[in-house]
Each structure stands twice: as structure tokens, then as C-alpha cells.
Amino acid sequence: MKESISGKTVFVTGADGFIGSHLVEALVRAGARVKALIFYNSWGQKGWLNDVAPEILSHVECIPGDIRDAEFVRKVVDGCEYVFHLASLIAIPYSYLAARSYIDTNIGGTLNVLQACLNNNRLVRLLHVSTSEVYGTAQTVPIKESHPLVGQSPYSASKIGADKIAESFHLSFGLPLVTARPFNTFGPRQTARAVIPTIASQLISGCGILKLGALSPTRDFNYVTDTTNGMVDLGLCREAEGKVVNIGTGEEWSIETTAKLLMQIVGREVEIQTEESRIRPEKSEVNRLLADNQLLSSLTSWQPQVPFEEGLKRTVSWISKNIQCFEPEKYNR
């Protein structure tokens, strides 16, 4: 049964990020009182929340801070009825260079949120956000939540650690939490560290050659509003407590096919060139991700609403209007 979040106090970590900013919008539209954690900086910047309409942002309390600070997290979580935990370091290539920072943020930060929630007597539910990367390359498809977890990168290993410490707090202390495991989310506000904005920004900027990494891997691409709707549905679902639940479309697209679709949308066909620097180490490359979303559909009324090509068109439109945010020739780790 889906609860109502209208009038409830909701805390969102990672609210200044790509998915987090869209989640904040969805929660405000649902009538929630949103407290949004943004990563502290001396410029007072709100990340992608700056892209949110003023009439939405006016209903959001933005709180600068750091998820790695346990005492700070305890104070800001206190009194919140729902917590959506998205804050993490996510770029896979950078995790090869700075593994410890992923452990500190993704595992340590998650532990801080869990302990804060455990000490919050007003908490109704915590939604902990995982990633499909924890499955590694698909051993069986579509990927069910029972699929083995494989740490094929320091990033995915840190998220496995975060998921397991979250699981332990539910089993050990009865903490009411749900783990949402979204597959590859895309849409407006995603940076060029991800493949779709990497392709689109190069094409929009007029590149003569499209520079990419491996072309054969497939992904289950989910438009960002479908991902956030799934998160809200799970966060409000008592029957989902203690469960890990995939959020994905059940369709897969290769990187090469995605590039060709984007060429059609942008109206430019160019040569694709594979660059060595953009290729993951052989045993670290996740070759196939395809979600089994039956559990999510059985627990909630969720179904994907935005077809892949329509999502690509919306993404291209946004990137075209914000191309100054991208450096198309640069490989973003």
C-alpha cells in the first residue's frame, strides 16, 4: 500500500546531484516538506538544484554539509519522517584512482545515515539508493535482485559495502528501510562522465569524429523521472521494507546503437572512434545490464512512462540549451 507523503518532512541526501535534484522536484510536487543536503562549498552553490524552477526551490530547505560528518548527519536527520539517501561518489573511472574516497563516502557516509535514522524516533522509512553496477556483468538475464554481487570496480565494491551495511541495520535493529537498485538513469542534468551526455554533447558541438570507449556493452537505460518515480513509490511502500528492488525498463541498448539513435536525433552522422583512455580495464568492464523489474511492479503501480527515444530527445534538447556546461572534447572521469 502506498502511503501519502504530503505534509511529511523528508530529507534527501545528494539533493544537488543529477538524480537527487529531480527527486526533490518530485517530492515537492507531491506536497512534501523537503530538506535537501547539498555538498558544502564556499561559493554557496546548490549544484543542479540551481536548474530547478524557483517556484519549486522556494519550498526546499537547502542544507550545506558533508555526508562523511556523522554528528552533522545526526542533527539534520533528526525529526525527519522519510529519508532518501542518494549521496555518493559515482564515477567509475575515478574510483580506479581514488578508491579510499569511495569507501569513506559511500560506505562511511551510508553508515552515518543509518545510525542517524536509527536514533530518529520519528522515522517512518529510509530509502537507500544502490546501483545496478553491483551485479557486475550479467550472469543471467534479466537480472533479478537475487543475482550475485560482483565488485568489478572500486566504485561497485563500495556500493556493495553500503548495501550490506544497510541490510545489516534492517536485520540487526529492525530499521525500516528499502534498498532501491536503479539501472542506468539518464536525462537532463546528467554530466559528461556518463555515456549519453558524452555522445550528445560531442554531436551537438559539431564533432567530426565521435570519441567513445567500448561500443558493445549493453545497458538498461531508464529516463530520470521514471527512476525518481520508482524511488518515491518504494519509499512510500511498507511492503518493500527489508527488500532490494530493481528500477529498470526491462529493455537493453548497446552503446553503439545508442550513439546511432543520437546521431539521428541531432541530425549528424559521424565516424565513431574508440579511444583507449575511455576503455575500462578488461575484467572491470560490465558488458551487460538488463533489469528484471517484476518485483517493483508487484509492490507498486510503477511502470516506465518515457520511451527510450523520447527520453533521448528530451536529453538532447536540454544539452543543446546548456552546452556551455560541457567540454565535449574532454574525457570526464
What mean pLDDT is predicted for residues 228-251? 98
The yes-or-no verdict on residue 333 having pLDDT over 60 is no
CB atoms inside a 10 Å sphere around CB 49 = 21
Per-residue pLDDT tens for 60-82? 999 999 999 999 999 999 999 99
Please indicate, yes or no, if residue 141 is contained in any of the structural domains. Answer: yes
Spatial separation of the C-alpha atoms in residues 70 and 91, rounded to whole Å: 23
Do 150 and 44 fall into the same domain? yes
Please indicate, yes or no, if residue 298 is contained in any of the structural domains. Answer: no
Do 209 and 238 fall into the same domain? no
**Which residues lie closer than 8 Å to 260 by C-beta, 6 or more apart?**
none
Per-residue pLDDT tens for 14-57? 999 999 999 999 999 999 999 999 999 888 889 999 999 999 99
Strands annotated E in the chain: 9-13, 33-39, 60-65, 82-85, 125-129, 177-182, 184-186, 209-212, 218-219, 221-223, 244-247, 253-254, 271-274
Do 52 and 124 fall into the same domain? yes
Reported as a pLDDT band with limits 50, 70 and 90, residue 251 is very high
Do 129 and 203 fall into the same domain? no
- Reduced to 3 states, what is the DSSP secondary structure of residue 311? helix
Please indicate, yes or no, if residue 332 is contained in any of the structural domains. Answer: no
Per-residue pLDDT tens for 270-299? 999 888 777 778 788 889 999 999 999 999
Per-residue DSSP letter, 286: -
Please indicate, yes or no, if residue 301 is contained in any of the structural domains. Answer: no
Do 152 and 210 fall into the same domain? no
- Reduced to 3 states, what is the DSSP secondary structure of residue 34? strand
Per-residue pLDDT tens for 98-121? 999 999 999 999 999 999 999 999
Query: What percentage of the chain exceeds 70 in pLDDT?
Result: 98
Query: What percentage of the chain exceeds 90 in pLDDT?
Result: 88
Q: What is the structure's pLDDT at 64?
A: 97
Domain containing residue 201: 195-219+252-288+307-325
Q: Residue 317 sits in a domain of what CATH number? A: 3.90.25.10
Q: Residue 120 sits in a domain of what CATH number? A: 3.40.50.720
Torsion of CA 111, 114, 120, 121, to 10 degrees: -150
Please indicate, yes or no, if residue 167 is contained in any of the structural domains. Answer: yes
* Lowest pLDDT segment from 13-17, 151-155, 293-297, 328-332: 328-332
For residue 2, what are the β-bridge partners? Answer: 237
What mean pLDDT is predicted for residues 85-97? 95
Structural domain tally of the chain?
2
Do 176 and 200 fall into the same domain? no
Q: What is the structure's pLDDT at 1?
A: 62
Do 91 and 214 fall into the same domain? no
The yes-or-no verdict on residue 304 having pLDDT over 70 is yes
Please indicate, yes or no, if residue 73 is contained in any of the structural domains. Answer: yes
pTM over 0.85: yes
